[in-house]
Amino acid sequence: MTDQKRTTKTPPKKRKSAAPKAKSARPTKRKAKSEPPEASSAKSPTKKRKSTAPKTKAKVTKAKARKSKGPPRVSSIPAPAARRAYRPKSALHTRICELFGIEYPIIQTGMGWVSGASLTSATSSAGGLGILAAATMTFPELREAIAKVKDRTDKPFGVNMRADQSDVMKRVQLLIAERVKVASFAQAPGERVVKTLKDAGVLTMPTIGARRHAEKVQAWGVDAVIAQGQEGGGHTGQIPTSILLPDVSAAVDIPVVGAGGFRDGRGLVAALALGGAGIAMGTRFLLTQESQVPDHVKQIYLKTKANGTVVTTAVDGHPQRVIRTALIEQLEKANPLTRFPRAALNALSLMKVTGTSLPELLEEGMAMKQNQELTWAQLAMAANAPMLTKASMVDGKVAAGILPTGQIAGVIDEIPTVSELIQRIIAEAEQTLARLGA
Ligand SMILES: Cc1cc2nc3c(=O)[nH]c(=O)nc-3n(C[C@H](O)[C@H](O)[C@H](O)COP(=O)(O)O)c2cc1C
């Protein structure tokens, strides 16, 4: 793996113009160098937290949910009674607020089987940017979900896709026709996809886990990146957010949104201090009222401790952060040869669920093979993650499925509404800025 040479340590600049500068992909500020390997799984112990303010009125509390004793791990800032006034001059009004046309620099990321129309529209209505997870939707489901979001809000929202899906260009055309504001991608989307969207006025924002990837996609003309650190949920990289975010922010000119390990207003201010233009959260939004994950599954997340997650390649061959469950332990112990038949079966179920025909699956497989140099065994395993996620997130069969999560689950205690969550984050961020004298 490569990294860049630290020639200059330029702090993120304050820009006079709020307009996005995405079209001119300026040269990056650093050169590549080798990067030492890092541990793939972090096991941080749960810390005791000082709670100075009264406990919030949470709908479901972790204190109730978990049996272990210890201080409740809730945000210390009560939600304000009413929605806050729009403050364009606030430090919290960042470049992504201008770029995406949103009130707060808070993004709810695309999460397969989790972020549907309900969560996405709630986030956008509340002033953040909601993102529909389309990689696990059929084309008609995606069309329907977009229509539902538009019925519920007139605010901007995004759609998360996989650029290696066989019908990606059809989906791109749908986003263009529906005037979706932002296309987000789990990996680098490819120049053709970026150009087609850009020419039609759709903003693009891939998720990256290393600086060199941010530099590559900036050169393709993407409008922003989400830099996800290793503490983040689902497929994740090796570099912690505290190192990745300032590194990427200093290397590229487009806005960089921090992801991995965020849940509150202090985190938002920290992300801004590290050069980010906002935060993107998966796990925190999974644990809201509007997320349609079954309640008993949400309770498992609430009970998870900060060291209760693991990064494993046993699911689909790619590092993925999940809750450590009996199934994960079993998969990790399994001989790779016995994993393959299960993966092949999952590939067949995925075909059925997503309405993909065998020729389409093969075409998709070929594209993935070319793009990612996977073996056929790895390819069949790639279907594992979505099917095993569906088993738990949609069907509620926890023993048969996986529970992708960020480490932040270990310090989340309650399940607020999306609006309460966003208002609380902004209130806490403002208090934090005031405390710091900003
Ligand atoms: C249940 C779950 C499903 C996810 N599915 C996707 C996905 O389909 N596409 C994607 O780009 N990222 C996916 N992710 C990653 C999130 O979009 C996000 O980047 C990550 O959760 C951020 O870290 P956090 O959980 O600490 O907030 C998923 C994460 C979770 C927890």
CATH of the domain at 246: 3.20.20.70
CB 393, CB 293: distance < 8 Å:
yes
Does any domain span residue 81? no
Least confident of 20-34, 261-275, 282-296, 418-432: 20-34
CB 11, CB 198: distance < 8 Å:
no
Nearest atom, ligand 1, residue 131 CA: 17
Report which protein residue has its CA nearest ligand 1's atom 18: 282
**Ligand 1 center to 52 CA (angstroms):** 31
Whether the per-residue pLDDT at 366 is higher than 60: the answer is no
Does any domain span residue 96? yes
**Ligand 1 center to 370 CA (angstroms):** 24
**Ligand 1 center to 53 CA (angstroms):** 31
Nearest atom, ligand 1, residue 135 CA: 8
- Which structural domain range is residue 309 located in? 305-404
Alpha helices, DSSP H only, in 334-406? Answer: 336-354, 358-372, 376-382, 384-393
Residues 235, 269, single domain; the answer is yes
Nearest atom, ligand 1, residue 184 CA: 11
CB 229, CB 240: distance < 8 Å:
yes
Choose the residue to mutate in 106, 108, 111 for probing ligand 1, maximizing ligand atoms within 8 Å of C-beta.
111
Helix, strand, or coil here: 107?
strand
Residues 124, 148, single domain; the answer is yes
Maximum CA extent, the chain: 61
Residues 230, 147, single domain; the answer is yes
Does any domain span residue 299? no
**Ligand 1 center to 35 CA (angstroms):** 25
Residues 263, 313, single domain; the answer is no
Does any domain span residue 357? yes
Task: Name residues whose C-beta falls within 8 Å of residue 120's C-beta, 6 or more positions apart in sequence.
Answer: 108, 130, 131, 132, 145, 149, 157
**From CA 96, how far away is CA 109, in angstroms rounded?**
14
Does any domain span residue 76? no
Residues 280, 191, single domain; the answer is yes
**From CA 46, how far away is CA 271, in angstroms rounded?**
21
Residues 263, 344, single domain; the answer is no
Report which protein residue has its CA nearest ligand 1's atom 3: 111
Alpha helices, DSSP H only, in 47-164? Answer: 62-65, 95-100, 117-125, 139-152
CA-based end-to-end distance of the chain? 38
What's the predicted TM-score (pTM) here? 0.78
Residues 221, 121, single domain; the answer is yes
The binding-site residues of ligand 1, defined as CB within 6 angstroms of any ligand atom, are 109-112, 114, 133, 135, 160, 186, 207, 228, 231-234, 259-262, 281-284, 286, 404-406, 408
Residues 289, 334, single domain; the answer is no
Q: Identify the pLDDT of residue 355.
A: 55
Q: Identify the pLDDT of residue 367.
A: 58
CB 163, CB 190: distance < 8 Å:
yes
Whether the per-residue pLDDT at 120 is higher than 90: the answer is yes
Q: Identify the pLDDT of residue 166.
A: 83
Nearest atom, ligand 1, residue 186 CA: 11
Q: Identify the pLDDT of residue 365.
A: 59
pLDDT in tens, 210-267: 999 999 999 999 999 999 999 999 999 999 999 999 999 999 999 999 999 999 999 9
Whether the per-residue pLDDT at 114 is higher than 80: the answer is yes
pLDDT in tens, 180-218: 999 999 988 889 999 999 999 999 999 999 999 999 999
pLDDT in tens, 143-180: 999 999 999 999 999 999 998 888 999 999 999 999 99
Q: Identify the pLDDT of residue 376.
A: 54
Q: Identify the pLDDT of residue 378.
A: 57
**Ligand 1 center to 9 CA (angstroms):** 30
Residues 345, 417, single domain; the answer is no
Query: Which is more confident, 62 or 267?
Result: 267
Alpha helices, DSSP H only, in 31-167? Answer: 62-65, 95-100, 117-125, 139-152
Report which protein residue has its CA nearest ligand 1's atom 6: 111
Does any domain span residue 374? yes
Whether the per-residue pLDDT at 384 is higher than 80: the answer is no
Choose the residue to mutate in 44, 107, 108, 109 for probing ligand 1, maximizing ligand atoms within 8 Å of C-beta.
109
Span 109-123, average pLDDT: 97
Does any domain span residue 65? no
Helix, strand, or coil here: 213?
helix
Residues 116, 178, single domain; the answer is yes
Nearest atom, ligand 1, residue 261 CA: 26
How many domains, the chain?
2
Q: Identify the pLDDT of residue 187.
A: 82
Residues 322, 212, single domain; the answer is no
Q: Identify the pLDDT of residue 316.
A: 81
Task: Give the pLDDT band of residue 333 (cuts 50, 70, 90).
Answer: confident
Does any domain span residue 98? yes
Look at residues 56, 48, 9, 45 and name the one whose alpha carbon lies nearest to residue 425: 56
Residues 272, 123, single domain; the answer is yes
Alpha-carbon Rg for the chain in angstroms: 21
Query: Which is more confident, 297 or 72?
Result: 297
